Amino acid sequence: MIAAEDLIALVRNYNPKTNLDRLADAYEFGKEMHEGQYRHSGEPYFSHPVAVAAILTEQRLDDATIITALLHDTIEDTKASYGEVSKRFGEEVAVLVDGVTKLTNLQLSSRETKQAENFRKLFMAMSKDLRVILVKLADRLHNMRTIKAMKPEKQAQKARETMDIYAPLAGRMGMQWMREELEDLAFRVLNPEGRQSIIRRFITLQRETGDVIHRITGDMRHELEKAGIEAEVFGRAKKPYSIWRKMQEKDQGFSRLSDIYGFRVITGTEEDCYRALGAIHQRWRAVPGRFKDYISQPKTNGYRSIHTTVSGRDGKRVEVQIRTRQMHDVAETGVAAHWSYRDGVRSENPFAVDPAKWIANLTEQFDSEEDHEDFLEAVKLEMYSDQVFCFSPKGDVVKLPRGATPIDYAYAIHTRIGSACVGAKVDGIRVPLWTRLKNGQSVEIITAEGQTPQVSWLEIATTGKARTAIRRALREADRERFIKLGHELARSAFEHVGRKATDKALDTAAKHLRLKGRNELLARLGSAELTGHDVVQAVYPDLAPDQTDQIPLRRAVIGLQPGQSFERATCCEPLPGERIVGITYRGKGVVVHTIDCDMLSRYEDQPDRWVDLHWHTGTHPAAYATTLDLTIGNDAGVLGRICTLIGEKKANISDLVFVDRKPDFYRLMINVELRDVEQLHSLMLMLEAESHVAAVERYREKPAAAAAVS
């Protein structure tokens, strides 16, 4: 554990005017409050707050933030109170500590609607003082660095939460180094074999090619010196997770990836950035479409840099980032640069963004969202987005995420423009609405009175704002149809548990689910935004079939080792009664596949991971999700009839998604919960006999679509 004097020395390195006595007092108070508490590793618990504080000193943060780190668990885990912290260290620190405590208590990895509510709370906490999330990110980083002491299932939960929420949030805040480390630490837990594979290939590559980074760095320095440009040049191999993600996105093997090395050029002035770019492009060939100028068009978190990719030695592509020292400080610390100190005074960095304006810009578009799912999707899309910059016919700049289309552009201008869009011109040429926009293009939207959003737009739009507006417009247009369908689904779902879908029951469910009323509930049920199971559970949370004679889910499979858990593979969704085999995963237990699953071919050369399994004989509960791919006639009452037939077979519909809508036929995926394979066959035979059902089959994922499972 870092001693008090060593921690204070870290702060004094960048802030000689720090209040030494206040820091020492906070250290002693935290140590006293956590006395007798220990971490899973057996270390004194106070070693954790100290490590969090040390991480924050790397970002040169102010005294209040460092003290908050030292005390961030005191109000929650010790006898210390808000009043005591406020009296001893001031109201500012007490508010920050309380904010971190509230964030810690958010269960961010729960089910979707709850997760969306927690995201709202997270943004509210950030809007009050962004330093709260800075402490929380440092807290998560240290916990991930020491995660091996936790139980495997807890490790997996924390790693997924980190990958889904904290890593992209750090990236969105401009703290790219933290995002990369969080992703890599989570990757180590979630896919240790994949990570080790990347590292082994790197070692082999270095053995074959030598120190490529050293050679290219030397070449760049030589070219810059020839051009009379003073600059620092740094090179590095990209993180294992970054490379893994590229392999997944491009569907390429490691040997075919080219840009696995990154280089940074740090200059003295903005002018030298562009001179350095010229020198590099003169020496090496630039890769088309890989140039971005974030200096002239900075990101909303203050990030400025020139990005280019060039073909280096032996045709290898390398990514180069060029920026000034002040730009680099913001690139390393993001919005945290606002609080950074240098030589005892707050750094006057012209590129550091105002945190209040930044968080206001991030949350502005989500404030009006009432729909939990839409809000969550919009947040995730925004946090993961990179940006392109387009121009309006008047020359105004419109910022959009990478991969945005004219539909996204239209909605970015105004919802009314988006809804009335009938076409677009890019650089004066008419283009399809699914065209991907590029940096620097001029976009003109063509509108027509009476036009309304189309279902196909949901597949075209990429921004949360556009998709939310389209979904809302479609919901309103189809409201009556969805309400009728919702009535049928509700009736079937309630009959499945021996109840009736009365108006009172539906009103109660709507109130419990925080919806405006019965019709809103039915419309969402009919549009597959809610399931019949959700509605029934809202009214009868404890209602379930008698399972006294049924086999518990945890004991459904025979052949596992003591304490070993299992889960069904999503690619083949095995059911009781089918021949099965298990594939072991470190930290994940056993994944169960049907014996004829196409995905098993991936593991033919890994026989040590195969486990011989079979289902427990007896009666299983109707709790095994299976997806049916149906094509049905587009006639009145057909879908209601299908839902009734499924209900008559004692199968619960847990989800329903329209895949394709034609004038005469609908194709949809219905997720049903079944007991066993016999019930599946019986259900499919009955559906095949229905005159309005053109085709029905059990849906199985193809190997390419399920590649991420491994």
Catalytically active residues are 76-77
| CA distances, 557 to each of 264, 588, 642 (Å) | 53, 16, 32
H or E, element range at 584: strand 580-585
CB-based contact 588:558 (threshold 8 Å): no
Residue 307: left (phi > 0), alpha (psi -120 to 50), or beta? beta
| CA 50 vs CA 3, 47, 54, 69, 131: distances in Å | 9, 5, 6, 7, 17
Distance CA 110, CA 9 (A): 41
Please give the span between the terminal C-alpha atoms of the chain, in angstroms, as a whole number.
38
Backbone angles phi, psi at 571, to 5 degrees: -75, -35
Beta bridge partners of 673: 625, 652
Pairing of β 610-615 and β 345-346: unpaired
- Full 3-state SS string of 133-157: HHHHHHHHHHHHHCHHHCCHHHHHH
The 8-class DSSP code of residue 172 comes to H
| DSSP notation for 336-361 | GGGG-EETTEE---TTPPPHHHHHHH
Nearest to 129 by CA among 176, 180, 68: 68
- d(C-alpha 244, C-alpha 240), whole Å: 6
Burial class (CB in 10 A: 0-12, 13-18, 19+), 501: buried
